[in-house]
Copies of this chain bind each other. A is one copy, B any other.
Amino acid sequence: MQLDNATPEQLQQWEAELSQQYAQLQAQSLNLDLTRGKPSAEQLSLSDDLDGILQGNYLAADGTDTRNYGGLEGIAEARQLGANILGVDAANVLAGGNSSLTMMFQAVQFAYEYGLTGAESAWGKLENAKFLCPVPGYDRHFSVCEQVGIELVTVPMLATGPDMDKVEAMLKADQQIVGMWCVPKYSNPTGVVYSDETVERIALLAKIANPNFRVFWDNAYCVHDLIDNPPQLANIAEACARAGTEDSVLQFASTSKITHAGSGVAFMAASAANLAGFKKALGNCTIGPDKVNQLRHMRLLPDMAALQAHMQKHADIIKPRFSSVLENLSRAFDGTDLGSWEKPVGGYFISFDTRPGCARAVVKLAAEAGVKLTPAGATFPYGQDPADRNIRIAPTVPTVGDVDKAMKVFEVCVKLASVRAQLA
């Protein structure tokens, strides 16, 4: 199907055929959901040994009684796990509570209100602090900034990561830009892995940006590969060390999509100066994270080999769902001018770009045929996708059979919305 060269008669005929197919799908009264970027119950069960794993021994390796108060930085072995995941020294890692989003919020807010390196560094002193958001991106990153009062400005995502020519030009031109959101591996939602060149260029941004500029490197899917020889993300901390820009990047990760999504351990990695500023404020918010839960995690995942074996089990569950989405997209849209998509080999999302102006219509059609999709626009700041193109597909929760059914509905909805838009 090629719409650009189709005659009005051809479009009319397609519209009629697709409308009929759509009506048949509606008659099935489906109730399917591709919105939820969370693990399935089957995945969660992989970690059910967490409960009871301590067998009465609540002592960390250094003898710390994890049950009591204290230990703002987390227990040593949990910090080491975070360090291994993020490719940094354990001294640069905090192991926290159940939410890396909370750590990111705290980092944004502390940097805005109090400054990470002294009161003079507080972003709130600027007239109009802004964050760069590669789009499509993660809505909860955007809402952190909205809550704190930081303006969101967008930059396009390419297959190599953010469009670095534009990023550099924007940072040079506007010193009110104090931060940038990045999901560098299996980006939410496009699934791309930042190229080595992109990582190198990001490590150099501090040289042209506002002196208090910080990259928020949310490596949420760092160990969430679906294939045996996955793409390797370059090490941003090492790139920064080479460039002398260690203070410009804050890294985040968590076990939320490794163990139990709501009950995991979050990590933050940063330079000594950033950690000192962060801990100064953090110490006034809490006496410390849940160290017992950190210890449970260390007993379940004592080293990287155990972690990788565990992630392989996740991959075994997720991969057929990803394959179903990608095979359906390929079958339906290869060789057409109806849309484009990346082919992620990890993470939680596949992102589909319709023809301009069709995403909302597709989501609406799908909903009316019993298939819930993430609201169009959700992957853009303020919910506004200027081209109305991007749709995020999250296939981990439904069964493989349901993913397949949902994608067949998706196909008809994309085609129908596209043809109708062309006719309009």
Query: Which residues from chain A sit less than 8 Å from chain B, CB to CB?
Result: 38-39, 41, 44, 47-48, 50-56, 58, 65-71, 97-99, 101-102, 105-106, 109, 113-114, 140, 143-144, 146-147, 256, 260-263, 281, 284-293, 296
A101 and B285 form a contact (CB under 8 A): yes
Chain A at the B interface: SS class: loop
- How many Å lie between the Cα of A69 and that of B43 in the bound state? 13
Q: Do B99 and A262 touch (CB < 8 A)? A: no
Q: Is the CB of B263 within 8 A of A293?
A: yes
Residues of B within 8 A of A50 (CB): 292
| Across-interface contacts of A290 in B (CB, < 8 A) | 97-98, 262-263, 290, 293
Determine the chain B residues whose CB is within 8 A of the CB of A68 once the complex forms: 38-39, 41, 44, 260-262
Q: Which residues of B contact A38 (CB under 8 A)?
A: 68-69
- The oligomer's copy count stands at 2
> Within the complex, which residue of B114, B144, B263 is in contact with A291, where a contact is CB–CB below 8 Å?
B263
CB distance from A354 to the nearest CB of B (A): 28
What B residues does A65 contact at CB under 8 A?
Answer: 41, 44
Contacts of A291 in B (CB 8 A): 262-263
Which of these, B69, B140, B146, B281, contacts A262 with CB under 8 Å?
A: B69
- Contacting pair B292 A260 (CB below 8 A): yes
- Nearest CB in chain B: distance from A218 CB, A: 14
**What are 8 sample pairs from A and B whose C-beta atoms fall under 8 A apart?**
A38-B69, A41-B67, A47-B67, A68-B262, A71-B262, A97-B98, A144-B284, A290-B290
Chain B residue nearest to A53 in the complex (CB): B51
CA distance A55 to B52 in the complex (A): 8
Measured CB to CB, the closest approach of chain B to A38, in angstroms, equals: 5
* CB-nearest residue of chain B to A65: B41
**How close is A31's CB to chain B, nearest CB, in angstroms?**
17
